[in-house]
Structure 1
Amino acid sequence: MPSPSPPLRPHPHLYEINTWVWLQELSGRTQRELTLGDIPDQEWDALKEKGFDCVWLMGIWERSAQSRAIARSLPFLRDEYDQALPGWQESDVVGSPYAIRAYRPDPALGTWDDVERILRKLHDRGMQLILDFVPNHTSLDHEWVASHPEYYIQGQSQEYQLAPHEFFVVGESDNPRYLAHGRDPFFSPWTDTAQLNYFHGETRAAMMGVLDTIAPYCDGIRCDMAMLILNEVFHRTWGRLLMDREWPANEFWSEAIAGRPGWLWIAEVYWDLEWDMQQLGFQYTYDKRLYERLRQFNPQGIVSHLRASLEYQRKLVRFLENHDEARSAVVFGRQAHSAFSVLLATLPGLRLYHQGQLEGKRVRLPVQLGRSAAEPLDEMTVSYYSRLLKLSHEDVFHFGNWRLLSLEGEQNVTSLLAYQWTWQEQWKMIVVNLSPAEAQGRVCFTDEFPFSEQEYACILLQDVFSDCSYEFGQETYRKNGLLLKLAPYEWQIFSVMAVRGGFKS
């Protein structure tokens, strides 16, 4: 088996890959059909060179024939395919990666040996492998549906008659069972899934067994819609069908995480339950709140969100896009995208980048598709992200101390955000205008100032993305603050140096 997981630095970088689509792209590039075991080493080398700590191979598990048939038939999905992949064929619809038939590699993608080979290659490069875990539901044709229907939420005939879209029928006609489709309580059911019952002890044990199956082949898991199986949430969603079952003594997650030390646990979670999931042991939880405030172009909300405790923030998954969200290049536009990607790269927490984001791709691909349309590279975005990733790979952004800085008005000051990272002799300061209007303000230094007065006579600020530098005397800088004037969505990243004895002439 592969070596132990390589150590993960603080504030790691994670790259999400749509595995099926990626293999199609690589196959087209190499003019031969590739599986997981055939991925060229230079692909892993390139990700390492960009500074990624982890690779998330999204969607490697066996997909469902029934899910595929449903995905080919639903009108709203067919409309999405038309938008994302004009001229698509039925064969391009491979089914949802979140309606899992079995936790084994899909035969179209590869084998367990192939996954183990990838894990070894990533470990050789000091990187970790993340795979999917979908706790809430299985596909309709998972083997448990026939062999263990008791693992699932079940209704009675009357519930099925009232809401047939919420259930599907299994078993013999003289003894039918009405199994519920998986769902988020705020939306319609996922009709290609079967809802597991987490108030049933044997279901929990079976899902623990799934984790044991996955464990030797990865360093951690991204848990889909992880909050849905919290005891309180689950009871609120399914209480009417739980037949007065006793509440489990513990949360599934606390037991699962405690039993698998050393694994990296990432939770997709919403509804302000991020802190709760962190307390159960998740090292990282989705930061949808920041994403929503960025999409709303809400500077005050963004700054307010970043005032939360550092203990909480360092466990958040920051992102501008993923497979569920629209492409960031489209959502934000070039100016705001540039500014917000600086936040992604330099805020504390796990920094999630999505396949195609670094190239400026604009088409969001439905997860049911196994092929994407060709898009031209946005050379400006490629160059920009290359420089930004190189910068954020520096140790100061991983091992340093992060602090939000105070700002005092001048013009539109509430749209400005300033923070710093300090580590050993390194000091970086980031200032971002979060608005489409010019903004001006003073960065104030009190206890945040990392040098004592005896250590320096002057301060030098070097803009790391340009040749600009600024010089300040101690009194001006420390007592009056730093006056900054930024154009709409402008940002600056400074290397700050204390100069003993003043500047050379």
Structure 2
Amino acid sequence: HPDWFVQLPYSPFPSYSFNGPNLSQDERVGVYLEDHYYDRTDAAVVFQRRDHWTGDTRYIYHGNDGTSMPWNDTAQLNYLNPEVRESVIQTILHVARMFPIIRFDAAMTLAKRHFHRLWFPEPGSGGDISSRAEYGLTQADFDAAFPEEFWREVVDRVAAEVPDTLLLAEAFWLMEGYFVRTLGMHRVYNSAFMHMLKKEENVKYRSVIKNTVEFDPEILKRYVNFMNNPDEETAVAQFGKDDKYFGVATMLATMPGLPMFGHGQIEGFTEKYGMEYRRAYYDETPNEWLVNRHRREIFPLLHKRYLFAEVDNFRLYDFFSAEGGVNEDVFAYSNRSGDERALVIFHNKWADARGWIRTSAAFAVKDADGNKHLDQADLVHGLGLPNDPAAYVIFRDVASNLEYIRNCQQLHNDGMYIELGAFKYHVFLDFKVVHEDADGRYGHLMGYLAGRGVPSIEEALAEIFLQPVLDPFRQLVNADMLAALAEVAMPVTLEVAEVTVEDEYGEEVTELDVEIIIEADHESPDVLALLDDAQERYETLLQAVADFTEGGCDVEALAEENRGELDILLRLPAFAEQMPALEDAAASIIAHLGDGETAWATTLSWHFVHRLGAVAAADEDEAAELSRSWLDEWLLGRLIGAALREMGTSDVAADEAVAVVKLLTANERWFDGSSAARRTPLAVLSKLLRSREVQQFIRVNRYGGVLY
């Protein structure tokens, strides 16, 4: 059907020539690209079609969107011809009977306004494709030839004849809303998401969302949001690899609509991927840091698409700055599914933002008769929370994994105060409503935190209850005190030399001769003052524990005993030097303690903890059990870990150090036994290895039927 194409009986430009190879596989018809294609000096708007049997020669236009070069692997159908429209619709129906999803590339070029503009422009408008201006049509003539929107007819025919088909259209040029609202397309590429957020045209994109929810929120569900596609630069080229990228990716994962990730986006690939590629041209490896951050922050959100995909409870909020105006650079929206709630906030600007979220933008609501009116909601109603002064809501931020607490009535009256740095974001999930008890714990905790997040609200409540003990514990076990005491103990070195001696059989063997060199001065005024300070703080802690547990021990005597132990601990190398039998053991211990502050800080932390249980215990065994349990129940282990991290210890090393403190405390009575047999090395080691905590610490595991 050569007459089905937009064409001319002559070449539109005299400079065109068609002397290249015949690209047709049909012996009757010849297809010739314009010669300048081959040396890349021109991009002709037509190709030549020759009928070798009749001699008929036509010049058929390539497909063209008027923005750049013609698509020289295509021929443009003439949709003014009703036969053409019907044939294409039949082809679409044929494909729909075989496949459940169809994507239409560059679908916007077949919208009436753009087909008119490109191929039959209004007289006097000039047109966007070279040589087409002289073939223009008035609006009336064009409407007579092309009366109905082609895509509207496609959607209706597919719905009637193949109803289970999903139609997805690429519709740029800000035609997305028109394709959904007027043409009824099931899904449409939302290019505004990528372009506007990349350029930080936040006012414009907030307007897109506002206008959509005011007209019909259901349209948001039909958008396909993306950060790159094969026609655009890669996501990493447009958004980078840091907070801006992850802020926009968070919106991608949490907005209604269909999130679409481009090839290589998660891996951070820089190659612009072509759909016709058989293989990649670049030799790229995945950016593991980028992939892992996706795993931490984006993938958990994608697992909750049921929470974000619907629009019945979607609310977009204005972010009011302290000055009273709306900060259009902040996107804030909430959604709900059943009892689950989500609040997403993203600041798409290189600046700081402070302000309040309280009232939503207007959104359309339909009554039972289908009549539409606009409504607004405050944050409490948007999240489905009670307006109750005794109700508090606890929620978690996915980005930081911190938990927060707010009073529901305050949220209703004032909104939520938020501070955001450049390109920072929050995704608040796991909302849980609790009610105040007689002790007023939640209100006290909210006042104490003053808006801050904590790893666990439950632990924070316990921390407030335990403040009489935790405050003096922090005064004793903190980064400054541990570092100061470690500095007293650390000036110890080992000199190791190889010596030759005779063994019991008279043969010469090589042994290591270890000499311990003490460099610390434990009698200096500064050191004595430090030890006095530590003893005073320890006694204050013991008294607090005694008051808290109503224990009846002699606090002063226990503090004196601790001072003696601390002195021995810090002088361990000196004592070992006076006891040759212990020299090898002491050398081994000192070699490990010589690793630095972390080793000494761990040892000192154990020292200050392991006798706490004696305040309330009846005997030594019970004292060890209480000390071990308080490391967890009283959050003492968490405070030790925090002190170590403040000293520069890594998270992994700090966690291991706390585990060591727990093991040492739980097993400090290892030498006790009712008989000598129970105190043999084998018996002691066997007992230790039966402990689940010990097994976990030394990583006991079973693989292939073998216990390692």
Find the partner of 1:207 among 76, 88, 98: 88
Secondary structure of the structure 1 residue equivalent to 2:344: strand
Code of the aligned partner of 1:251: E
Q: Distance in 1 between matches of 2:13 and 2:80?
A: 21
Q: Does 1:380 align with 2:289?
A: yes
The 5 Å alignment of 1:268-283 reads: 268-278=170-180, 279-283=182-186
Structure of greater relative contact order (alpha carbons < 8 Å, 6+ residues apart):
1
Q: Structure 2: how far apart are the matches of 1:337 and 1:424?
A: 30
Cα drift, residue 455 of structure 1: 9.2
* SS at structure 2 position matched to 1:492: strand
Q: Residue 281 of structure 1: CA displacement? A: 1.8
Query: Deviation of residue 344 (structure 1)?
Result: 0.6
The 1:255–1:345 alpha-carbon spacing in structure 2 relative to 1, beyond 3 Å, is same
Equivalent in 329, 347, 361 of residue 415 of structure 1: 329
2:48 matches 1:169: yes
* RMSD of Structure 2 on Structure 1 (CA): 2.5
CA distance in 1, matches of 2:251, 2:415: 22
Partners of 2:321 and 2:356 within 8 A in 1: yes
- Residue 181 of structure 1 aligns with which residue? 62
Q: Percent identity?
A: 25
Residues 255 and 309 in structure 2, CA contact (< 8 A), matched pair in contact too:
no
Offset of residue 392 of structure 1: 2.9
**Number of residue pairs matched by the alignment:** 358
Deviations 1:368-390 (A, max 9, x none): 43210331111122223234233
**2:349 match: secondary structure:** coil
Aligned to 1:94: none
Q: Deviations over 1:252-287 (max 9, x none)?
A: 222222121221111111223222221212012221
Partner of 2:258: 350
Indicate if the aligned counterparts of 1:427 and 1:497 stay in contact, CA closer than 8 A: no
2:383 pairs with 1:472:
no
1:250 corresponds to 2:131: no
Change (3 A) 1:149 1:241: farther
User: Where does residue 63 of structure 1 map in the other structure?
Assistant: none
Query: What residue identity is the alignment partner of 1:420?
Result: S
User: Whose strand fraction is larger, Structure 1's or Structure 2's?
Assistant: 1
Find the aligned partners of 1:158 and 1:406 in 2 and give their Cα distance: 57
User: In the alignment, which residue of structure 2 is the partner of 1:398?
Assistant: 309
| Local SS of the residue matching 1:217 | coil
Structure 2 length as normaliser, TM-score?
Answer: 0.48
CA distance in 1, matches of 2:231, 2:334: 31
1:401–1:196 Cα change, 3 Å: same
- One-letter amino acid matched to 1:187: S
**CA contact under 8 A between 1:274 and 1:285: conserved in structure 2?**
yes
Q: Which of 211, 218, 223 is equivalent to 1:316? A: 223
CA distance in 1, matches of 2:185, 2:83: 23
Q: Match of 1:407, as an amino acid?
A: F
User: Does 1:265 pair with 2:167?
Assistant: yes
Q: CA deviation at 1:336?
A: 0.9
Question: Which residue of 428, 447, 464 maps to 2:378?
Answer: 447
Q: Which moved further from structure 2: 262-271 or 397-406?
A: 397-406
- Uncovered stretches (5+) of structure 1, i.e. residues with no partner: 1-147
Q: Could you tell me how far apart the structure 2 residues matched to 1:354 and 1:486 are?
A: 28
Distance in 1, Cα, partners of 2:98 & 2:5: 27
The TM-score with structure 1 as length reference comes to 0.66
More helix by share: 2
Shift of 1:430: 0.7
Match of 2:105 among 224, 232, 241: 224
Q: Does 1:359 align with 2:267?
A: yes
Q: What residue number does 1:152 align with? A: 5
Structure 1 residue 442: deviation in Å? 1.4
Do residues 492 (structure 1) and 426 (structure 2) align?
Answer: yes
Q: Which runs of 5+ in 2 are unaligned?
A: 17-33, 35-43, 121-133, 360-376, 443-457, 462-708
Distance 1:242 1:303, change over 3 A: closer
Going from structure 1 to structure 2, the CA distance change for 1:169 and 1:464 (only over 3 Å counts) comes to same
Mapping 1:319-330, distance limit 5 Å: 319-330=226-237
Bigger Cα displacement from structure 2, 402-411 vs 330-339: 402-411
Contact 2:389 2:409 in 1 (8 A): no
In 1: Cα distance, 2:263 partner to 2:389 partner: 45
Asked if 2 retains the 8 angstrom alpha-carbon contact of 1:401 and 1:422, the reply is: yes
Residue 429 of structure 1 pairs with residue 331 of structure 2: no
Shift of 1:432: 0.8
Kindly name which structure, 1 or 2, has the bigger radius of gyration based on alpha carbons.
Answer: 2
Letter matched to residue 333 of structure 1: G
Instruction: Give the aligned partner of residue 121 of structure 1.
Output: none
Aligned to 2:392: 458
Amino acid at match of 1:471: I
Match for residue 57 of structure 1?
A: none
Query: Is the deviation greater in 492-501 or in 217-226?
Result: 492-501
Distance 1:484 1:448, change over 3 A: closer
Offset at 1:410? 3.0
The correspondence of residues 8-87 of structure 1 with structure 2, limited to 5 A, is none
TM-superposed CA distance for 1:241, in Å, is 4.6
Equivalent residues of 1:408, 1:442 under 8 A apart: yes
Within a 5 Å distance, the mapping from 1:94-173 to structure 2 comes to 148-157=1-10, 159-161=12-14, 165-172=44-51
Structure 1 residue 205 displacement after superposition: 2.5
- Alignment-derived partner of residue 31 in structure 1: none
Q: Tell me how far apart the structure 1 counterparts of residues 420 and 413 of structure 2 sit (CA, whole Å).
A: 21
Q: 1:484 to 1:204 in 2, by over 3 A?
A: same
Which amino acid in the other structure matches residue 172 of structure 2?
Y
- Find the partner of 1:295 among 198, 201, 213: 198
**CA apart distance, 1:299:** 2.9
Decide whether aligned partners of structure 1 residues 350 and 237 sit closer, same or farther in structure 2, where only a CA change above 3 A counts: same
Q: CA deviation at 1:162?
A: 6.9
